[in-house]
A and B are shown apart, each in its own frame.
Chain A
Amino acid sequence: MTDIQSATIDRMLRGTISPIDCNEREWEQVLRLARMSGLHGRLAVNNVQNPLLSAPVRRHLLSAARVAKFRSQMLRAELFHLAPLCDKDFPVVLLKGGAYLAQQLHLATGRFVSDVDLLVPRAHLGAMEQRLRAGGWQAVELTAYDERYYRDWSHETPPFRRPGHFLEVDLHHAITPVTGSLNFDPAPLIEASIPLADTPFRVLCAEDQVLHACLHCFHDGDLALRVREVVDIDGLLRTFAQESGFWDRLVRRASQLGLERPLWYGLHYARRWLDCPVPASVPESLSGTPSKITQRCMDTLAPLALLPSNPDTPVPLHVQLARNLMLTRYHLLRMPLRLLLPHLARKAGRRLQTRLNQKSIGAGV
């Protein structure tokens, strides 16, 4: 990564927290990196009021702020339609974007939402699915293999969508894949969840929201361009740090649930990239500190994978390599090899098949 690129990323990330000062040319670069990372809405809400902006820059920020606002509105609408399906029979917990918005957290403003995530106890998963179907939501059609993948190995059901609605609903019965090395019973999360005033929904307690965000960012996927999730972690930490005793509770909870490693990564990169005011004693007191070698590997690969690459060129090979290594790491965390290898072989075979099909269709034009 060049110095200019990393300085621009740094500026862009600062801009998601507070107003930044740069010229029009620099703004173009900042906007491009923000779009690549899905952070232009956050950038917009923090900067659109700046009276010194040039007209084109203000237009872009206004545009991004409006899109983010629209999507939040669609999220509110979806929650409005979901509310009648939830009663006191069993808890329904909002996760991530839905929870941030419903709690009116500062970080929800300008944050792009793509779906609604709900967590219900596994025993009531069937009932909740039943209610969604009765309410007009339909499960996205999947092949038998994908269906089984979701059912047996994943921690969520296939996504639901109600015709004419803007957002998908993802129904979770755990926050980790059931086959993964960090797999644990989500009962304590639901037990500690908090009811949301004037709604039938619940949200995870503050510490669990942070832990879930860390787990999702560092243990759920290839990490490509996931810097926005580090921005979420930073936002949650800044908000909840206002509550007295938060840091102690966070560390205790992480060790209770066995999530010290993902928390360590979350704190590490939130401090490193966003100057998150984490007391130095907190990461030190975590028992999940990675070894020096692992840290060095992560510090080399994570910026390449999570942060945006040069917007002017196709993704360079070393970045692709870093993202593939991170994907490999994720797969290994998610499934034992005896499940993983046949799964990947099948996916690769299917990709090849779609590609061949596309070629024979697309050969004309």
Chain B
Amino acid sequence: MRQGPCRMLDLGSARIAVSSPIARFHEHLDIVYPHQQTEDPTTFVDVRVSVLPGAPWRIWGRQAHFWSEASQPFEPYPLQNALPLFEWGGNWLLAQRLNAYLLLHAGVVARDDGAIILPAAPGSGKSTLTCALHLAGWRFLSDEFGVVDPASGLVLPLLKPAALKNRSIEVIGTLPGATLGPVFPNTRKGDVAHFVPDRDSFTHRARGAKPRLVIFPRFREGATLTCTRLPSADSAMRLGLNSFNYQTLGPVGFHAVTSLARQTHAYELEYSILDEAIEHIEKLFAEVP
């Protein structure tokens, strides 16, 4: 089967190479990874996959198949949804292989070299807040994975586009300066569009930041902003719960989580208005010693 052109995406703390003969998919990659230079696709990468079209005679519409190491870890998607398939598949494979790091389910932004980690369960408005903070001038490190290096204590960029779902597509898409990829309607997770981090964040993709603030966001329609400081023991527990591999890392995970909780201030933040939340976060960040 024809593999199509291969391109390598340098995300900072990991590299992904993808081959595909699907022209539309490459166009979508150009939109959501606009700053990637043409890099040598034969250098070491952490994840190497192909997105291949299925049989053209399938009655229910042609599909895109996600191949990794001669097998398909996922069911195929409709051909036009090749990008969301690649994004989710790539995330899943990265989560399997990056156990050298503590992987939090978190958005991460930074100013200078001080980082804010926003860990949260799906649906809590984490991606929306992460993207809004980026548009308000913070450097974007990652949305899906908070990559913490247990050896240095730094949080590292994993510069993938943020997958915005349903209502947040409009909320972020209408903010000044926002760049979004095409909307993919009715995927398994609803409507999805990818938010593109800016060139400056891409340029600094190899630069880690020191965690200063941990904010557990919770979006609630109509809520007035409330913000509660969490004791570091609570913060450690919640960081563990919001981690992909806390259990797998065993003692390494425990030490990473507790030292992260000790060196940061942690808050629970409930909000309904983005601007208020951002303003409050700025204030909290200024207060951290």
Q: Do A32 and B248 touch (CB < 8 A)?
A: no
User: Which residues of A lie under 8 Å from residue B19 when comparing CB positions?
Assistant: 312
Could you tell me the distance between the alpha carbons of A359 and B54 in the complex, rounded to whole angstroms? 15
Contact B46 A56 (CB under 8 A): yes
Is B67 positioned at the interface, with any CB of A under 8 Å from its CB?
Answer: yes
Q: A32-B48, A311-B69, A313-B70 are in contact. Are A63 and B98 (CB under 8 A)?
A: yes
Measured between beta carbons, the chain A residues less than 8 angstroms from B283 are: none
Indicate whether A308 reaches chain B with its CB closer than 8 angstroms.
Answer: yes
Taking a contact as CB atoms under 8 Å apart, the answer to whether A60 and B70 are in contact is no
Contact (Cβ within 8 A) B70 A365? no
Query: In the docked arrangement, what's the CA distance between A73 and B251, Å?
Result: 12
Asked if A315 is at the interface (CB within 8 A of a chain B CB), the reply is yes
Report the separation of the CA atoms of residues A311 and B3 in the bound assembly, to the nearest whole angstrom.
12
The verdict on B78 contacting chain A, using a C-beta distance below 8 Å, is: yes
State the CA gap A233–B49 with chains docked (Å): 32
User: Which of A21-29, A270-278, A290-298 contacts its partner?
Assistant: A21-29
For residues 1 through 59 of chain B, which have their beta carbon under 8 Å from a beta carbon of chain A?
1, 3, 15, 19, 42-46, 48, 50, 52
Cα(A27)–Cα(B186), bound, Å: 40
Determine if A24 and B43 form an interchain contact, defined as CB atoms under 8 angstroms apart: yes
Comparing A64-72, A142-150, A204-212, the segment that makes contact with chain B is A64-72
Q: Which residues from B are CB-within-8-Å of A364?
A: 186
Q: How far is the CA of A70 from the CA of B245 in the complex (A)?
A: 10
Main secondary structure of the interface of A (DSSP, over half): helix
Q: Does A176 contact B (CB under 8 A)?
A: no
A159 vs B19: C-alpha distance when bound (angstroms): 39
Asked if B44 contacts A314 (CB within 8 A), the reply is no
Q: Which residues of B contact A54 (CB under 8 A)?
A: 44
- Our pick among B1, B75, B99 for the contact of A66 (Cβ within 8 Å) is B99
Cβ of A310: which chain B residues have Cβ within 8 Å of it? 70
Q: Known contacts A27-B44, A312-B50; is A59 also within 8 Å of B249 by CB?
A: no
- Near A by CB (< 8 A), chain B positions 234-289 give 247-250, 252
Residues of B within 8 A of A24 (CB): 43-44
**Assembly CA distance A58 to B100 (angstroms):** 9
Alpha-carbon distance A35/B99, docked complex (angstroms) = 14
A32 pairs with B69, CB closer than 8 A? yes
A142 and B250 CA atoms in complex are apart in Å by 34
Give which listed residue, A66, A311, A314, A359, contacts B249 with CB less than 8 A: A66
Q: Say yes or no for B86: interface residue by CB 8 A criterion.
A: no
Give complex CA distance A163, B247 in Å: 17
A197 at the binding interface (Cβ < 8 Å): no
Query: Which residues of the other chain, A, contact B71 by a CB distance below 8 angstroms?
Result: 36, 315
Interface check A309, CB cutoff 8 A: yes
In the bound complex, do residue A314 and residue B1 qualify as a contact, i.e. CB atoms below 8 Å apart? yes
CB pair B98–A59 under 8 Å, yes or no, is yes
Nearest residue in B to A74 (C-beta to C-beta)?
A: B247
Whether A314 touches B100, Cβ cut-off 8 Å, given contacts A35-B69, A56-B46, A66-B248, is no
A63 vs B150: C-alpha distance when bound (angstroms): 12
Size of interface on B: residues with Cβ below 8 Å to A = 34
Query: For residue A63, which residue of chain B has the nearest CB?
Result: B99
Q: Within the complex, what minimum Cβ distance (angstroms) separates A227 from chain B? A: 14
A53 to chain B, nearest CB (A): 11
Q: Which residues of B contact A365 (CB under 8 A)?
A: 77-78, 81, 186-188
Contact with B along A290-325 (1 / 0, CB 8 A): 000000000000000000111111110000000000
Residues of B within 8 A of A32 (CB): 48, 69
Query: Does A79 have its Cβ within 8 Å of any Cβ on chain B?
Result: no
Q: Is A362 an interface residue (CB 8 A)?
A: yes
**Is B111 engaged at the interface, CB distance under 8 Å to the other chain?**
no
Identify B44's interface contact among A25, A35, A67, CB under 8 A.
Answer: A25
Question: With a CB–CB cut-off of 8 A, which chain A residues contact B78?
Answer: 365
Q: Which A1-60 residues have a C-beta within 8 angstroms of B?
A: 24-25, 27-28, 32, 35-36, 54, 56-60
CB < 8 Å neighbour of B100 from A28, A62, A308, A312: A62
Q: How far is the CB of B9 from chain A (nearest CB, A)?
A: 15
A362 touches B43 (CB 8 A): no
| List of B residues within 8 angstroms of A67 by Cβ | 99, 248
Contact of A25 among B42, B77, B250 (CB under 8 A): B42
Q: Is the CB of B250 within 8 A of A66?
A: yes
Q: Are B250 and A63 in contact (CB under 8 A)?
A: no
CA distance A70 to B93 in the complex (A): 18
Does B97 make an interface contact (CB < 8 A)?
yes
Q: CB of A134 within 8 A of chain B?
A: no
Distance A220 CA – B249 CA, assembled complex (angstroms): 33
Contact between A70 and B250 (Cβ–Cβ < 8 Å)?
Answer: yes
- The yes or no answer to A363 lying at the interface (CB within 8 A) is yes
Whole-angstrom distance between the Cβ of B251 and the nearest chain A Cβ: 10
Instruction: Report the Cα distance A337→B212, complex, angstroms.
Output: 68
Nearest residue, chain B, Cβ from A65: B99
Chain A residues, CB < 8 A from B81: 365
Residues on A lying within 8 angstroms of B by beta carbon are 24-25, 27-28, 32, 35-36, 54, 56-60, 62-64, 66-67, 69-70, 73, 308-315, 359, 362-365
14 contacts between A and B (CB under 8 A): A27-B44, A28-B44, A32-B48, A32-B69, A36-B70, A63-B99, A63-B100, A70-B248, A309-B70, A311-B70, A313-B3, A365-B78, A365-B186, A365-B187
Which are the 9 A-B pairs with shortest beta-carbon distances?
A: A63-B99, A59-B100, A311-B69, A24-B44, A62-B100, A70-B248, A66-B99, A363-B60, A28-B44
Q: 12 extra interchain contacts, Cβ-Cβ under 8 A, other than A66-B252, A67-B248, A365-B186?
A: A24-B44, A59-B100, A62-B100, A63-B97, A63-B100, A64-B99, A66-B248, A70-B247, A311-B70, A312-B50, A313-B3, A365-B187
